[in-house]
Each structure stands twice: as structure tokens, then as C-alpha cells.
Structure 1
Amino acid sequence: MSTITLTTWSLEMTSPADLVPAAEPGPEITISRAEVPSPEFSRFLYASVGGDIHWTDRLSLTRAEWLEQLDRPGVETWVAYDRGTPAGYIELDPQPDGVVEIMYFGLLPDFRGRRIGGHLLTLGTARAWDLAERWPGLEPTRRVWVHTCSQDGPTAMDNYQRRGFKVFKTETEEKPDTPTPGPWPGA
């Protein structure tokens, strides 16, 4: 089996003042929080956004495991819509000591390159900074972080850096070159 060199970058923001908002796309784009934890909807978003960029870590989870991930205090999913159609999402995952990880972020392929991603990342990052205001018991956010890799979309790293995220760690590894799973079998 052939291998590829995978580079993973971890990026962080340590102050809400570091957030550089993206321009807003047209009025046809709306973003709202999915307030009811739904494994089916979240799996749809995950598989549809990550199907062509090698997202596989959650594909084998059972419905109960999905619900366990989504139903923890402070976990939030924000969804971008283009005239009612899901275009992408950002999932926030609070961690100990006021740290929030952007666990997943991305757009469905047909919606990339339309300035939706910068706007969604802006809103999601702002929501990460005020997460404790919506979830009593969480510590105020002191750091927001995310990771991206060389298999993610070609504009992912640029979008994070334009929003104010700074690289704090780079890792490189050899891994098997596997085909993308696609959003459904045989896609």
C-alpha cells in the first residue's frame, strides 16, 4: 500500500480581540445553532463536509456514541444555510480550564469558494469566546484552538490565519494513502 506525508497544524487564538471578521456573504446565507442534539443530522453534516477530504474518525460511531459526543454541556453545532439548504457547519467542544476546540469545521463541496467559510468561521469563533455565557458551569473561554491538515481544503489554513489564528504546533507523519469515503457508499 502506498503512503502519503500528512502534515497537521494546530492553531490557536488567545484573545477575542484577535478575531478578524470575514466579510459577510449575501443575505441568502444564514447561520443558526442546531439546538437539539441530532446524531442523524450531525452525521449527515460530517459525512457530507468531510467525505472528499478524508474525514473518517467518526464514521464508525454508533448512534449512541454520536449522541454522547453531541449532548455534553457546552458542545454546540452552528450550521450555515444557503436559502434553507445546509452549506456547512462548525462544532464547538469545550475542554477543561476555559479552552474551546473547534472540533469540526467545513463546507459541503458545492458551497466552497463562495465566502461562506470565512463568515461561518467568524461566527463560530465568536460563539466559542462567549460559550460560558450560554452554559452555566463552564469556565470563561481563555483560548480557542483548531487543527487542520494537508488533506483539508486548499483554503482552510488561509481562512484560519486570516481570522487571527496562529500556528503553535506542526506535526508530520507517514500514513497509508486511502481513498476518500465520500458522503455515501460508492460516491
Structure 2
Amino acid sequence: MLEPMIEVTTTHLQMLSRDGLNPSERGLPAGARIERVQAITPEFSKFLYRGVGSSWNWTDRLELPRSQWDALLRTPGTETHVLYLEGAPGGYVELVGRPGEAGTEVEIMYFGLFPHAIGRGLGGALLTEAIARAWDLDHRFEGFSPVTRVWVHTCSLDGPAATANYQARGLHIFHTESEMLSPGDGRVGMWPAEEPTS
């Protein structure tokens, strides 16, 4: 059976100077920290991806075999940073730096919070730290030129506060596009359907 097509709008945002970062006024609460995963495994990466993305139709990586997922994580310039709340993951960001002749561009490839962390004012603090770490990514990879651009794309299937959060932190829209798509269901295999309550 063919999946229904819907119109999906993708918004691309960028920051061209580290001085453009507008930090969130809300810092991390007590018991929270953001930590770079130095030796991330495909299993942990997939856990983060599904934990955050299952509500937002993230499916682009779900069909990748382990070897391909691992290869993406091992690409020089790729980092994963996890928000921990009292010891448990509450969100994460994956950064991908790409050096070029004009400098290194860093894409915020994945960014988001676990369901239990949404609505607690954590998104701004996590994004502030993600952008700050993106601007310093060249310091952590040998041979990378200085970062000249940090960018991200989001779409109308993502969380309703995503674009506003990016703009509040100083990212500016530079391109939008719309297309008809049959989005996958990122929830498949995540949890069984809830039993109806009577």
C-alpha cells in the first residue's frame, strides 16, 4: 500500500560568525551536564537517534547496516555530544565538520531532546552549547581549518519549537524549500502501541 504524500517544508539556517551566538538565558539545571562521547558506538548512536527522533519521523538512518552507521560516526570531523539529566540521556547533538578552501563548515546534523526532557527549558541551553562547540570543532581535529560557518536544516515534521529555537540562538534562515513526500514512521519498532484505557 502506498503511503500518503504530504507537503514538507525544509528550512535551512546558518551562522557566519561565532559572535552571532545568542546564548540562552536559561542554563542547565542542577544534575545536568553535556558530554562529548569520545568513542561512540553505532548502538549508542542509534539509541540516541531513535530516542529523540521517533516522535519526529526521523527515518533516514534506520535502514543503514551497522558498518555504514559506524562509518558515518568515524568520519573525521564528526562528534556526538549528549545532554545527561541525573545520569540518564536527555538529548543529544551530532556535529559534522567539513573542511574546505574557505574554512570548515559545521552542520548540526541531528539535534533534539528525549520526550521526558521536552518542555523543561533545556532546548535553548543544549543548542547554545552545541553551537559553541561547533565553532571550536577545528581545534579538535588535526588539519582542519578554522570554522567559518555553522548551519542546520529542519523541516515541518520536526518539533514545533525547532525553528524558533534556532533563530533565538542567532541562526538566520537562508533557504526554504517544499516538496511532496511520504514520510517514514520513526516510531516503528520503538514501543508497542499503548493499550486503550477504559
2:168 maps to 1:162: yes
Residue 148 of structure 2 aligns with an amino acid whose one-letter code is: R
2:136 maps to 1:130: yes
**What aligned pairs does 1:32-181 form with structure 2 within 5 A after superposition?**
32-97=35-100, 98-176=104-182, 178-181=184-187
Match of 1:3 among 2, 5, 14: 5
Secondary structure at the aligned position of 1:96 is classed as: strand
**TM-superposition CA deviations, 1:25-79 (whole Å, max 9, x none):** 3112111000102100000000110001000000011111111001122211000
TM-score between the two structures when normalised by the length of structure 2: 0.90
**8 A contact 2:59–2:185 mirrored in 1:** no
Residue 167 of structure 1 aligns with an amino acid whose one-letter code is: I
User: Which consecutive residues of structure 2, in runs of 5 or more, have no partner in the other structure?
Assistant: 194-198
TM-score between the two structures when normalised by the length of structure 1: 0.95
Q: CA deviation at 1:96?
A: 3.0
Q: CA deviation at 1:136?
A: 1.4
Q: CA deviation at 1:176?
A: 2.1
**How many Å separate the matches in 2 of 1:174 and 1:34?**
36
Aligned residues: 187
**How many Å separate the matches in 2 of 1:61 and 1:92?**
19
**8 A contact 1:52–1:180 mirrored in 2:** yes
**How many Å separate the matches in 1 of 2:189 and 2:140?**
32
User: Which consecutive residues of structure 1, in runs of 5 or more, have no partner in the other structure?
Assistant: none
**8 A contact 2:136–2:147 mirrored in 1:** yes
**How many Å separate the matches in 1 of 2:56 and 2:42?**
21
**How many Å separate the matches in 1 of 2:185 and 2:15?**
33
**How many Å separate the matches in 1 of 2:92 and 2:85?**
12
**8 A contact 1:48–1:183 mirrored in 2:** no
**8 A contact 2:99–2:105 mirrored in 1:** yes
**How many Å separate the matches in 1 of 2:139 and 2:183?**
43
